[in-house]
Chains A and B, each alone.
Chain A
Amino acid sequence: MEKRVTFASWTIGILFAVPQLLLIFTFFYWPAGQAVYWSLTLQQPWGGGNIWVGLDNFRSILANADYWNSITASLVFAGISTGLAMFIALVLAALTDRQLAGSRLYRVVLIWPYGIAAPALAMAFRFILAPEAGFLAVVNKGWPGFWDPGLDGADAMASIIIAFSWKYVGYNFIFFLAAFQAIPRSLIEAAAMDGSGVIRRFWDIQFPLITPTIFFLLVINITESFQDSFGIVDIMTSGGPANATNLMVYKIYSDGFKGLDYSGAAAQSIILMVLIVLLTIVQFRFIERRVHYR
């Protein structure tokens, strides 16, 4: 889309674009380029610049069992938490959209979790899910050792999934509700007149019409699960126990800044970037086209 009426002199236009361009050059393109450079070189331990090693950094990462473990953990985390957060939000939004008494209250409150910082909610859940003090301690009293995120990898993974999903239910709810409300009321009323029930109307009218939102949220949730999980992991599990929750961004951070392996961290960043760009492209190219019915 283009404007028909524009201004003839360019000076102000170019001047106005400069601040943004400077910013993204300095803090986006340069670092991204730097990451590529680092991933292909190895820093000398005694200083004196980087030496070119080609794809060796990638080879050594991909040969590392810890890295594959981190990818698996990230995918498990992304898959389960996205599924959980989207399913719950979809159900809640569909029910809120029925506009029974009290639905205004739900519309207001269910959004709250999205405003909370990931580390803050991680603190809250760390307490709630603590094996010795919080609420699961009650279960542990009955079956000692039933729940211990500090020792059991699966329990730790479950904890971060619960914390992350709690926040993103709120986020997905906003979008699902907006999508439901954008469906013309007359469509649903007409279907009701034809005798279709609530559930039938949901599957045959509302659900197909919100598929673009579903796929949009699918991509966003997966990307967010790669990045917004950092605070949750850092507060709740620190990647442990035994690397069970060492998600990709957390591993980049600990390898790069704790282990001071910039080249390895840069190579990991590149792999993650490629993964996210691929996801975005998949969304734009394939999914968007297939789901627009209107």
Chain B
Amino acid sequence: MVERTPILNFFTHLILFIGFVFCIAPFVVVAIAASHNLKDVNDVPMSLLPGSDFWVNIKTAWTTADLGPKLLNSFIVAAGVAAGKVIISALTAFAIVYFRFPGRIFIFWLIFVTLMLPLEVRIVPTYAVVANVLAPYQAILDATGLSWLIEKVSGVQVSLNLGLLNSYTGLILPLVATATGTFLYRQFFLTVPDELTEAARMDGAGPLRFFIDVLLPLSRNNMAALGTIMFLWAWNQYLWPLLITTDQSHAMAVTELKSLIPNVGGTPEWHIAMAGTLIVMLPPLIVVVFMQRWLVRGLIATEK
């Protein structure tokens, strides 16, 4: 900046460069290992010159782990979570900020609390809910005596049952049910000038019109940021898809990686494992590289 500090500058460059190497090295090693054949990849030390089997390995990993449909599933779930968050959070934030209905503060806190407990720590009961998503409502009907009443009046026994295991809905909905996005929108809506609302109202716009024609176009940056973060977050989910997809047709790419780990005592097919890893880490990496601006902005705004 203002002074000459040659020694310090040298160390700055040195340390940053070492950091850079450590940051990049795993990517490079994975890519190089993915290009070797079985013998070369198990050489000690492994040669850092790329081998010639890259496409063969990619193809083998692709077929062994059946990555085509898995990547598609990952994509559907990640896009679904991102879209769900972007839409539902906008609606909720609009309700909380622009209306004064009774219980508004209570609702705000109800949503705020969900920020604290991630899905991972309440995984067991959430699994039970997804196995029959209507169970909570059945329990409420039973407890209030309503199901008894309905049975008496109409003769129909109420038993609500809707299993969401092995379905996109079951994968997506629990991931949407947190408050991160709501707060991002809330902070932003609070900075939108009141004059805009007044002007819209004076022109005869109702809340719906104002939301669609004024607020949403203004929130485009927020939507991009939130969408990017949520896409990455959902793509990288592991525990949740692992639990609720017992059926291969709904498995996600990240959970399939496990099938590529070389068995102890078996052939150490690290070249295939690394090719698979490369395929799975590539889509989020592309998102990070191209959406970096939104990613950084979104992370810092949601403090997530």
Q: Which residues of A contact B (CB under 8 A)?
A: 1, 3-7, 9-10, 12-17, 19-21, 23-32, 34-35, 38, 88, 91-92, 95-96, 98-100, 102-103, 105-106, 108-121, 123-128, 130, 132-135, 137-138, 141, 150, 166, 169-171, 174-175, 178, 188-189, 192-193, 197-199, 216, 220, 223, 226-227, 230-231, 234-235, 249, 252-253, 256-257, 262, 265-266, 269, 272-273, 276-277, 280
Contacts and interface: CB of A to CB of B under 8 A. Distances in A.
17 contacts: A3-B190, A20-B89, A106-B19, A110-B20, A117-B280, A120-B257, A121-B26, A123-B257, A124-B30, A124-B274, A132-B268, A133-B44, A171-B299, A199-B8, A231-B238, A234-B258, A257-B127
Interface string B111-152: 100101110111111111110010010000000000000000
The 3 closest A-B pairs by CB, nearest first: A13-B99, A115-B288, A117-B236
A141 B97 CA distance: 64
B107 A17 contact: yes
Interface in B241-264: 242-243, 254-255, 257-258, 260-261, 264
Nearest to A263: B124
B167 to A, nearest CB: 14
A277 B235 contact: no
A9 B207 contact: yes
A188 to B, nearest CB: 7
A95 B15 contact: yes
A189 B288 contact: no
Contacts of B42: 132-133
B69 interface: no
Contacts of B222: none
Contacts of B300: 174-175, 178
A21 B107 contact: yes
Most buried by A among B89, B236, B292, B295: B236
B153 to A, nearest CB: 26
Given A21-B110, A133-B44, A257-B243, A31 B8 contact: no
Contacts of B224: none
B136 A26 contact: yes
A155 to B, nearest CB: 16
A116 B281 contact: yes
Contacts of B99: 6-7, 10, 12-14
Is chain B's binding surface mostly helix, strand, loop or mixed?
helix
A227 B201 CA distance: 46
Contact of A3 (B97, B206, B285): B97
B289 interface: yes
A123 B125 contact: no
A96 B16 contact: yes
Nearest to B137: A26
A16 B90 CA distance: 9
Most buried by B among A14, A99, A105: A14
Nearest to A192: B2
A127 B274 CA distance: 8
Interface in B1-52: 1-3, 5, 8-9, 12-13, 15-16, 19-20, 22-24, 26-27, 29-30, 33, 41-42, 44-46
Nearest to B240: A230
B128 A31 contact: yes
Given A27-B173, A27-B177, A133 B236 contact: no
Given A23-B177, A138-B45, A119 B20 contact: no
A58 B15 CA distance: 48
Contact of A108 (B33, B235, B292): B292
Given A26-B133, A123-B260, A134-B46, A115 B284 contact: yes
Contact of A123 (B122, B211, B273): B273
B2 A20 contact: no
Nearest to B13: A100
B80 to A, nearest CB: 13
B219 to A, nearest CB: 14
Given A257-B243, A273-B121, A273-B122, A118 B95 contact: no
Contacts of A126: 261
A174 B232 CA distance: 16
A92 B197 contact: no
Contacts of A9: 206-207
B181 to A, nearest CB: 10
Contacts of A99: 1
B2 A235 contact: no
A193 B2 contact: yes
Contacts of B89: 20
A175 B296 CA distance: 8
Contact of A188 (B1, B277, B303): B1
Contacts of A100: 9, 12-13
B91 interface: yes
Given A13-B101, A123-B261, A273-B122, A133 B41 contact: yes
Given A112-B289, A137-B44, A119 B257 contact: yes
A222 to B, nearest CB: 13
Given A26-B177, A235-B257, 4 more contacts: A16-B95, A111-B288, A134-B46, A265-B124
A230 B239 contact: yes
B168 to A, nearest CB: 15
Most buried by B among A26, A126, A138, A175: A26
Most buried by A among B5, B190, B281: B281
